[in-house]
Structure 1
Amino acid sequence: MTVYETLIAAVLAILQWQNILAMLVGVAGGVLIGALPGLTATMGIAILIPLTFTMEPLVALGMVAGIYNGGIYGGAIPAILLGIPGTSSSIPTTFDGVPLAKRGEAANALSVSAYASAVGGVASGIALLVLAPPLSTVTLLFGPAEYFWVALFGLCSIAVLLGADPLKGLISSVLGLLIGTIGIDSVSGHERFTLDIYYLTGGFNFIVLLAGLYGLPPAIELAQAGRRNPAGVAVNVRGAPPFRAWRSLNRTLARSSIIGIVIGILPGVGGTMAAFLSYNEAKRADPDPDSFGKGSYLGVAASECGNNADNASALIPTLTLGVPGNAVAAVIMGAFLVHGLQPGPGLFQKEPVLVYAFILQMILTAAILPLLGGIIAVRVFAPVLRLPVELIGPLVIALSVIGVYSIQNSIFDIYALVGFGILGYFMQKTGFPLAPVVLGVILGPMAEEQLRLALIIARGDVLSLASSPIAMILIALILIVLALPLVRRVGPSARKRALPDTQDRKS
């Protein structure tokens, strides 16, 4: 059977009403799951898998595809409305989504995020459909040393380019690295920085960290604002951005789609880095970078397009090599195994129609996000901003506590939530960015593990870390990122020093 014939058979297979219903239910359920802080697409798919034993494989996979795309987009809803990212990849969405919501443009921001998510998801699905076999070979070029430099590049770029003060950004990254080292060392098995506290042997739960840093500080500020202005925030539920705003998104969406696809192909990197890098590139390329962080539609679009463009591309190494690209891909790999499908080089030969049908389901579920996901977001969740501000703060705190406690039924997690909330509040007040802390916790363990593996393989030869062309390119990018603040600081200062001399000569 040729590729053309396989695609025709796959299209006919997914157009059956059972598969269409499964995709719609999956998208709706994924949006609702992603919109609840503490719940993730990974969790939703993991819960779904046991329920799909009696389903046809394609029906089950259609629902999985819907939950995946819907769950990643759903994280933008609380990020925009409440400043609480539903997923870690939605953190950059808060930078401009929250200011837009405060201006009464929450519905507009949600519409842009749904549209950008659809563009990124469809582009990622097309990449999976067309480029899976050739692109899968790219991941084979990356060894432990290259992954170490990728992680370091992500940390440096976010720390230096995100905030106004690069030094504070680097300090925040180091703090995240320190938090990420707490627990059992993955290589040696020894406990580190646990202070003989049993609850710290596994380290801090990432969702607890996320809810504390991004959930409690806005709630505290909302409570403070409620004293001064108890009225709710105005929301234009039926609004939409002007046409020129939609047209201005094209370049940003194209750039973010490419970044997300490339990041997705690299196993273990994830959509969080794709979202941050997409946001940073959009800010760097914009003629008015100062507008970012103050309510820019481009910022929302870049973040959401980047993290959704990671979705299907992360399945490229999963389906072709049997190597999960991220946590969700690992769970989806389990869904394939449950239905008797072995991801790997032989999957496209043994079950070509089923595989291509699943890829088309990834594209279709992403394409319907603006319709189904946008309706859920705008009609169901946007009116929450009409509540009095003095009620939203306690509501956010209560939901954060309930969500954190439900993860492990641990009181210690609530204490950690409060501790991270206080830390995040004072960091915001003193101008330290929170995003580098989160990325440090995510990428820190990855960087450490890959560095130690690389040194073990090279028998302690440090120079071997920079021996490959890919490693050299990444090192050059890191040096450029670190040099950018110096270039920006030297340029204006040099002009200011030259200005008095010019005036003296004129006088």
Structure 2
Amino acid sequence: MDMTALHDLWFGFGVALQGSNLLWSLFGVLVGNLIGVLPGMGALSAISILMPLTYVMHPVPAILMLAGIFYGSQYGGAIGAILLNLPSHPPHAVTCLDGYPMTRAGKGGTALGITMICSFFAASVGILVMIFASPLLTTISFKFGPAELFSIMLLGLLAGSTMSRGSPLKGVAMTVFGMLCGIVGTDPNSGTFRFTMGVPELSDGLELVAIAMGLFGVADFLLNVNRLVIVGNSAKLRVRDMFPTRGELKKAFWPMVRGTGVGTLFGAMPGTGPTITTFIAYALERKISRNPEKFGTGMIAGVAAPEASAHSKTQVDFIPTMSLGIPGDAVMALILGALLVQGITPGPQLIGEHPDIFWGLVASFWIGNVLLMVLNIPLIGVWVKMLRVPYRFMFPCAMFFIAVGVFSTQNSLFHVWEVLAFGVLGALLMCLGFSVAPILLGFVLGPMVEENFRRALLLSRGDVSVFVQRPISAAFIAASTILLLAVMVSAWRNRRDRQATAHGPDHDPEQTARVSVSSESGGV
């Protein structure tokens, strides 16, 4: 079996290295990388714009180009998130939490180097999983029904409450607020409008890209519009100084491995978007860290884990899309549509009927990731020099690209006003000490939790015990319970420690009273 897979992979490299196929793959990677850097522009916008071009192309170069745009924009989005706190792709919102503080501390180049290494490692693991474990992962994915998906989404929501710095109660409040934002629109079962307040534009719900750009990009610009960012001196902008040290690589290694595992697991599950993957990878690192309070201040693990999970999921996402015809997110749905337009039906027979497409695509992943490294190593200095631009000049340019990018998603000016509204709201919340990251998590997972909860109850005829009768679902429910208890115990211990610190390490109320009495009786 392994020799057969290696033989098929060799055949795929022969397909991917053909002149026209290689050029289209390079074109996709380059376009995806550049568009991913632009605020407000992501893979969804780029693929939507270039989709008509594939109608007149051969299926192989068409799919290779779209796939190149997809994973090229992943790294480009990380650049914008780390350097400018602008997540053009919502999964990179988690990278902003520690990547942007690293930039503020003069470590923007190091964060980009860590991202580049993690992306290549995670993508390579994802490709190997796609080659050798596709049948196994496809079998496992069939075991995840509505009850299992609800349980794992619930675990993700609870894990998200631990991501916010400061009060866990504030994190829970922001997660609930995000869930309320997520259910705005049309009820998927009854078709009735919910929380639209008579605004027709809200019938389709709030726009994910608009919320991400508003909460992270616009809010930060509003708070820091008069700030001038200088990252070190000109010597630090040399390419060789941008590579992480051995100690930094050591700090990034195990978070990178764990993040890759999380991305691989979720990539095999149909219907789970990439945002939940990065949030859970980040929450996992914060939970097992010896210094969880430092997350959000520029921790390398806070960059390595979510970026590794995002890139591994990007590769493994193609397994349910190609083998089951079930896309993991909107971008994969566009690629699935491109296959259908070409007359190719995704499914278990795809590998046998169109081996040039499947194995050429697998080989192009490796080629494309090598091209990304070759492109971005000399460009790291260029990206970091962007930070020498004063915010008063960068602000109008960024606002323009954000407006254009958000408008291009559905050609709606209303979404631009959404960005402004959430930008102002995000700035106010950050001034009040709230973390805005859980809002995005609640917005993404809230509708999915509701949908799978209602679907599971519908299939079980209202029997709530279905969530603990199925082994996989019961395991995730148990994990959620343990996590909730751990958060409660941790909050209780922190409160007890604060009270002990307030009274002093050797404070004894009875002893203090005795000393006071004795001093009063013998002090005159």
TM-score by length of 1: 0.92
- Going from structure 1 to structure 2, the CA distance change for 1:152 and 1:123 (only over 3 Å counts) comes to same
Equivalent residue, structure 2, for 1:368: 371
Equivalent residue, structure 2, for 1:59: 61
Equivalent residue, structure 2, for 1:29: 31
Pairing partner for 1:215 from 214, 217, 223: 217
Q: Secondary structure in 2 aligned to 1:342?
A: coil
Pairing partner for 2:266 from 251, 263, 282: 263
Q: Secondary structure in 2 aligned to 1:69?
A: helix
Contact persistence 2:12–2:362 (CA under 8 A): no
In 2, Cα distance between equivalents of 1:343 and 1:57: 13
Pairing partner for 2:291 from 288, 291, 310: 288
2:320 counterpart of 1:330: no
Equivalent residue, structure 1, for 2:49: 47
Q: How does 1:92-491 map to 2 (within 5 A)?
A: 92-223=94-225, 225-226=226-227, 230=228, 232-234=230-232, 236-238=236-238, 239-240=241-242, 241-376=244-379, 378-491=380-493
Q: Secondary structure in 2 aligned to 1:53?
A: helix
Equivalent residue, structure 2, for 1:5: 7
Contact persistence 1:152–1:447 (CA under 8 A): yes
Contact persistence 1:233–1:389 (CA under 8 A): no
CA-to-aligned-CA distance 1:362-417 (integer Å, 9 cap, x gap): 233234333223444x2443322111233233433343334334444444333322
CA-to-aligned-CA distance 1:28-61 (integer Å, 9 cap, x gap): 1111121223222133223333212343332222
Displacement after TM superposition at 1:503 (Å)? 11
- Going from structure 1 to structure 2, the CA distance change for 1:403 and 1:334 (only over 3 Å counts) comes to closer
Aligned length: 502
Where does structure 2 lack aligned partners over 5 or more consecutive residues? 516-524
Deviates more, 1:240-249 or 1:136-145: 240-249
In 2, Cα distance between equivalents of 1:63 and 1:124: 19
In 1, Cα distance between equivalents of 2:405 and 2:70: 20
- Going from structure 1 to structure 2, the CA distance change for 1:326 and 1:198 (only over 3 Å counts) comes to closer
Equivalent residue, structure 1, for 2:521: none
Displacement after TM superposition at 1:160 (Å)? 2.5
In 2, Cα distance between equivalents of 1:494 and 1:210: 36
Displacement after TM superposition at 1:133 (Å)? 0.8
Displacement after TM superposition at 1:494 (Å)? 5.7
Contact persistence 1:30–1:70 (CA under 8 A): yes
In 2, Cα distance between equivalents of 1:54 and 1:409: 25
Contact persistence 1:38–1:211 (CA under 8 A): yes
Deviates more, 1:230-239 or 1:415-424: 230-239
In 2, Cα distance between equivalents of 1:410 and 1:327: 18
Sequence identity of aligned pairs in percent? 34
Displacement after TM superposition at 1:215 (Å)? 1.8
In 2, Cα distance between equivalents of 1:355 and 1:194: 43
Displacement after TM superposition at 1:62 (Å)? 2.1
Contact persistence 2:45–2:405 (CA under 8 A): no
Contact persistence 2:165–2:293 (CA under 8 A): no
Equivalent residue, structure 2, for 1:69: 71
Contact persistence 2:229–2:387 (CA under 8 A): no
Deviates more, 1:491-500 or 1:481-490: 491-500
In 2, Cα distance between equivalents of 1:231 and 1:113: 21
- Going from structure 1 to structure 2, the CA distance change for 1:414 and 1:58 (only over 3 Å counts) comes to closer
Cα RMSD for the two superposed structures: 2.5
Paired amino acid for 1:423: L
Displacement after TM superposition at 1:334 (Å)? 2.0
Equivalent residue, structure 2, for 1:90: 92
In 2, Cα distance between equivalents of 1:19 and 1:406: 28
In 1, Cα distance between equivalents of 2:47 and 2:229: 39
Paired amino acid for 1:94: C
TM-score by length of 2: 0.89
Structure number with larger C-alpha Rg: 2
- Going from structure 1 to structure 2, the CA distance change for 1:462 and 1:395 (only over 3 Å counts) comes to same
In 1, Cα distance between equivalents of 2:269 and 2:44: 18
In 1, Cα distance between equivalents of 2:492 and 2:370: 46
Paired amino acid for 1:386: R
In 1, Cα distance between equivalents of 2:398 and 2:5: 51
- Going from structure 1 to structure 2, the CA distance change for 1:48 and 1:458 (only over 3 Å counts) comes to same
- Going from structure 1 to structure 2, the CA distance change for 1:380 and 1:492 (only over 3 Å counts) comes to closer
